[in-house]
Amino acid sequence: MNKVRKIGIITGGGDCSGLNAVINGITKAAINKYGLEVVGFTKGYHGLISNNHRPLALKTVSGIMHEGGTILKSSNKDNLFNYRTVNQDGSVEYNDVSDEAVKNLKRLGIDALIVIGGDGTLTSARDFYRKGVPVVGVPKTIDNDLPATDVTFGYNTSLETITDALDKIHTTAFSHDRVMVVEVMGRNSGWLALEGGLAGSADVILLPEIPYDINAVVEKVRERDAFGRNFTIIVVSEGAKEQGGEQTIRELVEDSADNVRFGGVGQVITNQLQKLIPEHEVRYTNLAYIQRGGITSQFDRALGLLFGVNAVDLIMNGGAGRMVQLKGRKITSIPLEEVVGSGAVGETSKGGGKTVDPEGQYVQAAKAIGISFGEL
């Protein structure tokens, strides 16, 4: 790895705040510390197969630390090991085009690749490493569901957005004595709902890890009414489900590595509650993509920057095939093979995601202050 002269950067999967901080850290450390050239591929792995890229210089990354999203754009629909192509007759084919992507790297003189993304993106990073490409991964997701790191950048900014939204919703809920149902992201992990709901003074928090009973939610609303608090704030994770029921799927995206899109459970709960507590107006708000954007928080700027600098150090010190991680207060690393699938090319989610422990400290603390999780 002491022969590295030029590195590439890819940002894949859903966008989030902190990506530009990572790009900033990588670019500045690569140029200032090691004298490297830096190339950014646009729109994730699509840029790698389409050979769409741009040079990154100190001036390019100047002033981007606070900005949400990614200056390189992103995509969560391009698995180059199972690439979707639509033919002229409308038929669809899936092919492994990873060899062509490797050729593009060689033609550009890219000696190593830093891949920033979540489970699906890092699975492809591992697969490229198996093909001989020196790769280092950087973990990214607002859901905080990657078990290999204590926390991912983007999560803190999303929590601040949720908390701010709940603060605003409280005033209108109080003014009209309404029940307000607020749906947040998280997929199969309830961290955003749990920590956001705690900080935003929610009265009910519904998580994927604790199937809810709608009657328990009604009971909490009426308990608050009897106490003289005639409004209730309910935070529901998009992956939550009723006891004995199924998760609410908004759509299936055929050409995405993570093809299930949750969404709409908040509306389902709103409809149920409007029938069960007709004395209240029940209103539904889905924060949706608002949680992905916005000015990056201090924590996510700092974490993203540290991840970026340490990713370059890994590349230059023989650490290819690993992912940077936060453990306690220290940035360390872990083999990509231990982060994602255990065997086959394209296999994801080794050991499952990082989920909320129903018996853990966060849930128990919430229960201690009177928050309901929809359990009778």
Active site residue 143: yes
Q: Which of 187, 348, 168 is nearest to 262 (CA)?
A: 187
> Tokens at residue 288, please?
């949706």
Which residues lie below 8 Å from residue 288, measured CB to CB, with a gap of 6+? 183, 185, 263
Task: Compute CA distances 201 → 66, 73, 176, 376, whole Å.
Answer: 27, 35, 18, 21
Whether 86 contacts 92, CB under 8 Å: yes
Cα 14 to chain center, whole Å?
7
Query: Rounded distance, CA 271 to CA 70, Å?
Result: 37
> Tokens at residue 368, please?
């201690």
- Catalytic pick from 143, 145, 203, 300? 143
SS3 string of 80-147? CCCEEEECCCCCEEEECCHHHHHHHHHHHCCCEEEEEECHHHHHHHHHHHHCCCCEEEEEECCCCCCC
Strand ranges, E, within 220-259: 232-237, 249-252
Q: Which residues pair with 85 in a beta bridge?
A: 93
Amino acid identity of residue 273, one-letter, is L
Whether 354 contacts 145, CB under 8 Å: yes
Catalytic residues: 143
